[in-house]
Structure 1
Amino acid sequence: MKKKSYLLATDLDNTLAGDPAALTALFEFHEESKVEPALIYVTGRHLDSALQLMEEEQLPLPDLWITDVGTSIYEATTLEEDSKWHDWVNENWQPSSILRVASRFPFLHRQDLPQTKRISFTVEPGHAESVHLFETGLKSEGIPHHFVFSSDRDVDLLPERSGKGAAVDYALRQYAAQDVNVLLAGDSGNDAQMLSLPYPAVIVGNAQQELDELPTHPLIYRATTNFAGGIQEAWDYFYDFSGIKKPIG
């Protein structure tokens, strides 16, 4: 991974995956350009679910997995978890305290996950106010957490040091070449932290409206093409694949 000059860190559902034809075109574009970027898959799914999606969508094996909205990092071939990241992000993690506060809000329905690296809920339609009251309750009790509300229905509670952006920033420093040419890609609110890192980033054309709240910035490209097509559009926008970035801004 450290030998590669380009790197794509991308969300999976409705970003890289979602349009098989666009996905095929993206990887043909890489092949024709003689560029094989390092791949980091950055997903809200837990690892088993992400591996299943990779098989279903016939995605290439990445170099690194970032799962559970940035709470876990795995080397892709061995599936060995990065213990340094795990220990650091979980130092102040209090899942039982979070669940105690969540029990006050009947319109939040806990998602069935195989572990408590994150705690996730689905909120009933029309009850977004419960989400804000839940977040307020956590803050008033001083419970350390990172709160993500996305797609108008999904609530993710993460260790306060985690999140997709924090995990990608760590992964780039630990695993990538120092001068690597990066592209970040996402479509929903749980990608906002990642898309706000100081690297070229693309919001794909089919993105959730909540990403409209991200400020206009030279490093954030809003694609007109959907799914993987938006990623291809952004490669063209930011890079000429000669190892030199195009002027930004």
Structure 2
Amino acid sequence: MMGWDMATAPSRQGRKRAMKDLLLVTDLDHTLVGDRQALTCLNRTLEILRSRISLVYATGRSLAGARQLQQEESLLEPEGWATGVGSTLLWRGKPDPVWDQRLQRCWDRHALAALLSHWSELTLQPASEQTPYKLSYELTTPRMGAEAHQFEQRLRAGLRQADLQARIVLSSGYQLDLLPMAAGKGAVSGYLQQKLGLQPHQVLCCGDSGNDRSMLGGPWWGVMVSNARPELLAWWRQVRPDTLLRSNRHHAGAILHALDTLPLLL
């Protein structure tokens, strides 16, 4: 099944003029990583197409954790690392000062931490998982479906009452990240699209969980792996973006499916 059709794609003539490059943004755990055989095939394909593709890893991991996974799984070196759920951006090995400046707006990490210190149902994640622009907790009791929605609504109400702003990202029913409103995987994908001078049809985002919703729901192409988590499947059933491919392949195989199926790099 797929959530797009050829009527939504640019004309072939238009693609020949514009599709000279592709921004490929992929989550790591359970998306790019999880099937060694499929990953090896994808790596070969990306190496062949490397002159045409800008590769970005967008992950909830810290940079150190993502680098460790890269070594363990023999991942290609990307142009960009969007770590901490899109709260930190390294482009070709260097911080992006324009991105960092965007995140500073209306972000009061100290006040958010003080507010949530009174929430007994939240446990602060280790220091290794915190960044200047990401405040991360774990829920003592996982919440899925309607319970997760109710929790997010209650948290938003608490932020409004305290006159604080933050993007709320709940993943896997128990991982909670608070980010600046300008942060997130979708925001960093859009920022890089503009930075590289690309059109939305020259961007492909790939993911499996709730923290991938913002980038899979963008105006560009997306692919959802067949092993997607329940919260992402529930979102897909409700939203069904026209530009999102629901692949019948898992992990890196879904990215290969998207490269073979969607009107990319023609």
Which deviations, in whole Å up to 9, do the C-alpha atoms of 1:97-129 show, x marking residues without a partner? 111221221121111134332000111235656
Once residues 68 and 170 of structure 2 are traced to their aligned partners in structure 1, the CA distance between those partners, rounded to angstroms, is 25
Q: Which residue of structure 2 aligns with residue 225 of structure 1? A: 249
How much does 1:71 deviate? 1.5
Once residues 142 and 249 of structure 2 are traced to their aligned partners in structure 1, the CA distance between those partners, rounded to angstroms, is 30
| Paired residue secondary structure (1:18) | coil
> How does 1:119-130 map onto structure 2 within 5 Å?
119-126=135-142
Q: Which residue of structure 2 aligns with residue 203 of structure 1? A: 224
Once residues 199 and 243 of structure 2 are traced to their aligned partners in structure 1, the CA distance between those partners, rounded to angstroms, is 19
Q: Which residue of structure 1 aligns with residue 262 of structure 2? A: 238
Q: Which residue of structure 1 aligns with residue 62 of structure 2? A: 46
Contact 1:198 1:219 in 2 (8 A): yes
The answer to whether 1:172 aligns with 2:196 is no
Once residues 121 and 179 of structure 1 are traced to their aligned partners in structure 2, the CA distance between those partners, rounded to angstroms, is 33
Counterpart residue type for residue 207 of structure 1: A
> How does 1:89-100 map onto structure 2 within 5 Å?
89-100=103-114
Once residues 166 and 179 of structure 1 are traced to their aligned partners in structure 2, the CA distance between those partners, rounded to angstroms, is 13
The answer to whether 1:26 aligns with 2:26 is no
Contact 1:121 1:155 in 2 (8 A): yes
Q: Which residue of structure 2 aligns with residue 181 of structure 1? A: 202
Which deviations, in whole Å up to 9, do the C-alpha atoms of 1:207-226 show, x marking residues without a partner? 11111213123201111111
Q: Give TM-score, length-normalised by structure 1.
A: 0.87
Aligned residue pairs: how many? 236
The answer to whether 1:66 aligns with 2:82 is yes
* Cα distance, 1:198–1:103 mapped onto 2, change above 3 Å: same
Once residues 178 and 222 of structure 1 are traced to their aligned partners in structure 2, the CA distance between those partners, rounded to angstroms, is 22
Contact 1:105 1:130 in 2 (8 A): no
Q: Which residue of structure 1 aligns with residue 73 of structure 2? A: 57
Which deviations, in whole Å up to 9, do the C-alpha atoms of 1:179-237 show, x marking residues without a partner? 87321101111110111111110011111111121312320111111100111111122
Once residues 43 and 142 of structure 2 are traced to their aligned partners in structure 1, the CA distance between those partners, rounded to angstroms, is 40
Contact 1:4 1:38 in 2 (8 A): no
Q: Which residue of structure 2 aligns with residue 151 of structure 1? A: 172
Q: Which residue of structure 2 aligns with residue 141 of structure 1? A: 162
Q: Which residue of structure 2 aligns with residue 216 of structure 1? A: 240
RMSD of the alignment, in Å? 2.1
Contact 1:5 1:181 in 2 (8 A): yes
Contact 1:123 1:131 in 2 (8 A): no
List alignment gaps of at least 5 residues for structure 2: 1-18
Which structure has more helix as a fraction of its residues? 2
* Cα distance, 1:68–1:28 mapped onto 2, change above 3 Å: same
List alignment gaps of at least 5 residues for structure 1: 243-249
Once residues 261 and 42 of structure 2 are traced to their aligned partners in structure 1, the CA distance between those partners, rounded to angstroms, is 14
Counterpart residue type for residue 157 of structure 2: T
* Cα distance, 1:177–1:109 mapped onto 2, change above 3 Å: same
Q: Which residue of structure 1 aligns with residue 127 of structure 2? A: 113
| Paired residue secondary structure (1:69) | coil
Once residues 138 and 202 of structure 2 are traced to their aligned partners in structure 1, the CA distance between those partners, rounded to angstroms, is 36
Larger RCO, structure (CA 8 Å, separation 6 or more): 2
How much does 1:241 deviate? 3.8
Once residues 29 and 69 of structure 1 are traced to their aligned partners in structure 2, the CA distance between those partners, rounded to angstroms, is 26
Once residues 58 and 20 of structure 2 are traced to their aligned partners in structure 1, the CA distance between those partners, rounded to angstroms, is 18
Once residues 181 and 200 of structure 2 are traced to their aligned partners in structure 1, the CA distance between those partners, rounded to angstroms, is 29
